[in-house]
Structure 1
Amino acid sequence: MTDSTLIPTRVAHYYRVDNLSCTTTTLKILSEIYDVEISQQVFDAALGLHGAGKYGAQCGLVEGGLMFITIFGRELGLPDERSVLTCNQFAQDFEQQFKSLICRELRPQGFSPKLPPHLCEKLTCEAIEFTAKFVQELFEPADLTCK
């Protein structure tokens, strides 16, 4: 799929240099892995999800995965119903793997003004790798290859 340094390298850059959210980081990396163009408007919309994440609601790593699955599904010409069912399966699988879909439960040490902003860097790498594998296994026709 990708070389083993792509995800951690991109996560570190997007978090430490660009100060991007979990959702945007997830979308950018998955779009690179699968060579899918994502419009600026989608990234603009993802900005609001960061506010919900800071509230501690659904994790941006989940949201970014869900958004990418539907974008990629549309690009592959999948029926909407299949994309919806795929997102449902992704949420179930993510929760089984990481024990939650909720940011405040997944984020190490929760939220506090004294804590640095990107405590989830390791979790982000693991979640993006998980999502990339989920996408590959689910959508992998014989001719679909990752970059």
Structure 2
Amino acid sequence: MDSRVVNALAAGSVAAFLYLGFGGLGAAATDGDPAALVKQREQTMKSMGGGLQTIAKFVKGEAGSAADVQAAVAAITEASSKDPAVVFPQGTAIGTADSDAKPELWQNWPKAVEYWNGLKPATAKLTEAANAGDRAQIAQALQGVSKACANCHEDFRQKKQ
């Protein structure tokens, strides 16, 4: 891959990581506005999804490098380290802005938190695999993170139409 492309991807990953790192500062700016809170959640989820896509492309041999995977894992780890009550505040279910969060998420909050917290050990394994740079190890660890996301989405996210 052309070094300019790799550098651009790395710079974009670092920018996304920094944006997420300072994302908590934006929470105060929403002043409890449910639509703004939904938008923040969507940004968090898009960051995680984008990271997963970057890693999947690397695993498939389609694009990226081990450094891209490490940056993507860092962004996923940062996003998943947020307090679930901040990511999923009350009053942000379906019907609020363009939220896809089912009301069942808050009705079964302990299960939702269990799913969210399940991301931590899964991302730790993915971080370890990314640091080793082994494509097969990364692929296996990616499955753990993907499964944690899919379980929560299955139970608590409205299906896309």
Q: TM-score band, normalised by the shorter chain?
A: 0.3 to 0.5
More helix by share: 2
Could you state the TM-score of these two structures normalised by the residue count of structure 2?
0.33
Which protein is bigger by CA-based radius of gyration?
2
